Structure 1
């Protein structure tokens, strides 16, 4: 049993004695979420190959997530517990199409029929400060964004603390030791893109300060031992033009450098997202981005630009290429990061890349159809430096999305999302051309 699970079990024993305490039970929440997902990634190259070598990826799966979130016991220090049970089921993935990391691999290279995992957190609250410790953490911070882009979500193991003791100031800190991937029932160490070694120490700290009701400033620091150190600065401002009209400015800057064993010989090297690197395997990057959004009624128009420095690609926490004892991928790959270019297919985060992007979105509630939203976005990356052979590459992506959530009646809360992305690139460091479609159905039933 993992140390965190043992700690949570002890906490449960203590809390059981106080289960009748006001707040712990009364404020509890129990919900069951269901997600059905169809994933089709059509690689536009090498279609002449036989089925066994065909590059396309096509699978569907069903996920269930049971969440229990307790309240806090009474007293100066309140205690509680959160628990999460996850179950994934392989519905279909025609022969030769299971290459997506969508589900765990079986011993014969096909997908397993089902997989499951359990996680829990003990928690405590003092005044306006909360501490969480366990294996069901899902941070959403500039230096770490838990990914929920497949059948089951990515979760982390470790401890976090959040304090709001000072008005308008939120302080976040923590240390994480392991991750549970979207398509895995196992935990793995923490790593970076392309690395085969892992680390069990990711520390972070930062603050969000609301300088005025319309302006928020951010600073965060993170360190993945033996891989990288990263500083983040951010500023968000919303200018209210009228009751139904606003202009939002969002600025972000990352400065990432090498730590410990990174940049030397061995498995702690970063492959720079498959792009150019000045120093082999060494983290060395500065990335800035700016986004401006104009909103008028149900209309929203966003434009922005991002610049990745020349010496190496942007770096973020991942599970790298970590494999199990049978040398099979753990299914732990796939993670998110806090840049506007983290799109449906590509990241636009290689060395030297200049990316201009835009999005138009509309909320159809303004036309009497609440719950219906649609958006279309376009990203164009240029001046990226090829990993080998010199020269530059360019790439673009176009994504469209329609979401609908039933607002009332028997099926209230049932949501559907249809997403389609098209990617094209030129140059040795671009991806293979792809057309990708995802169809997702979500439903959550609240017992408490």
Structure 2
């Protein structure tokens, strides 16, 4: 039986001697190592709870603490019109604290530590990890092709890095920058490696509909265009096999008004329609988000409105993340069927007080009019909701050491409070805390 992982490993082994022969392969190479220490807890309130998958117990608190090391080697390209290269990323995690009664399901909540056994229903692992590998080909300085494990960044597929270890996807990818200001990219994804995965053959699916063995691939393509320093546009289309077609359009505008004063605005729109076997049922979802912001020195204030215009949630590829709509937040995506959301955000840069590297983000998000009475069976969790509402409050504080031996050492404190009201039963009342320490090492001299 064909084994993609074995075939990829064999092709790499055969290619290494030829790759190493090219001077550019090592001359332009980079080796980076990121140490990440991550604690995450969720304290459920007002009678809400989660069910421990191993014991069946109802629990009101879960917490996990783990340390991860992510080592990334990115080669240059061999000389000539056609250059060859290789990227390798090893990522490994170790559980520091978190017993069977407190560790989540290894996927979403909390999602730092995987569990043994089928469907992540076994004991939490003490250590875990995997190696991502990709072969790459450069054509005429402006086009790059690659096959292997990749972390795409686009509105329709954005590999998540919001837990201990990053997500990746295996497949074929391309990128072209031959026209000034325009970047074209796309690819065909064959499988996914989740944030706690130890293999590369994970099924594809959606964040709210689950994964499907019948969905064989995800194909996408799109363009980013930057017009001077003020306008930025993105247009992408993706098709998840036998599930949906999804089109995304972004537009962003920034306008300086005077020294230290500026205004910015943006608009995001997603059109999602079922396709093929329609494994999630009939989908006809239009979702959009618009924001307006003002920056004055160290201060920034942003007001955002989001609408989900259909009897289904705004959904996206399994466990990916990019705040696809502007009101996506730490705990909730604010993307429920027919939801209307407002968000007020405030940013402050403490460099104005003589503390460069220290920054604060606060957000208050409120969603109303949630109605899932007409959703299909693929989103059954919403079917009992007629008049749901919820709110979330976030405080995000981060500090980056600016100089000295600990330069670029980063501390992050992310606290969020989420409360539900009406008959909104698809989400929980929870207080969440994330403490993250990161220390990157850039070893450019190989």
| TM-score of the superposed pair, with normalisation by structure 1 | 0.88
User: 1:162 is matched with which residue: 175, 178, 200?
Assistant: 175
Residue 312 of structure 1: CA displacement? Answer: 1.4
Distance 1:20 1:388, change over 3 A: closer
Measured against aligned partners, the alpha-carbon deviations of 1:384-421 in whole angstroms (never above 9, x if no partner) come to: 10433462101100000110111122222211100100
C-alpha contact 1:31 1:68 (8 A) present in aligned 2: yes
Please state whether the residue corresponding to 1:178 is helix, strand or coil: strand
1:329 aligns with none
* Structure 1: stretches of 5+ with no match in the other structure: 263-267, 270-280, 319-332
2:77 aligns with 72
RMSD: 2.2
Q: How does 1:42-191 map to 2 (within 5 A)?
A: 42-46=43-47, 52-99=57-104, 100-107=110-117, 109-127=122-140, 128-135=142-149, 137-187=150-200, 188-191=202-205
Matches of 2:50 and 2:260, distance apart in 1 = 54
> Which is further off, 69-78 or 386-395?
386-395
User: 1:413 is matched with which residue: 408, 411, 414?
Assistant: 408
Distance 1:390 1:402, change over 3 A: closer
Does the alignment pair 1:220 with 2:236? yes
1:253 aligns with 269
* Structure 2: stretches of 5+ with no match in the other structure: 105-109, 373-381
Matches of 2:177 and 2:403, distance apart in 1 = 36
Measured against aligned partners, the alpha-carbon deviations of 1:329-364 in whole angstroms (never above 9, x if no partner) come to: xxxx56555211221100110111000012111111
Measured against aligned partners, the alpha-carbon deviations of 1:171-215 in whole angstroms (never above 9, x if no partner) come to: 111111111111121231211123352322100111122344421
Matches of 1:302 and 1:132, distance apart in 2 = 38
C-alpha contact 2:249 2:269 (8 A) present in aligned 1: yes
C-alpha contact 1:361 1:376 (8 A) present in aligned 2: yes
Please state whether the residue corresponding to 2:335 is helix, strand or coil: coil
Distance 1:2 1:359, change over 3 A: farther
Residue 55 of structure 1: CA displacement? Answer: 3.1
Measured against aligned partners, the alpha-carbon deviations of 1:113-167 in whole angstroms (never above 9, x if no partner) come to: 11110111111111211112102x1111111111111111111111111111112
Q: How does 1:273-352 map to 2 (within 5 A)?
A: 281-318=281-318, 335-352=321-338
Matches of 1:239 and 1:419, distance apart in 2 = 30
1:442 aligns with 438
Count residues with an aligned counterpart.
417
Please state whether the residue corresponding to 2:43 is helix, strand or coil: strand
Matches of 1:442 and 1:236, distance apart in 2 = 30
2:212 aligns with 197
Please state whether the residue corresponding to 1:182 is helix, strand or coil: coil
C-alpha contact 2:270 2:286 (8 A) present in aligned 1: yes
Matches of 1:190 and 1:336, distance apart in 2 = 18
1:353 aligns with 339
| TM-score of the superposed pair, with normalisation by structure 2 | 0.88
Residue 74 of structure 1: CA displacement? Answer: 0.5
1:402 aligns with 397
2:27 aligns with 26
Matches of 1:232 and 1:334, distance apart in 2 = 15
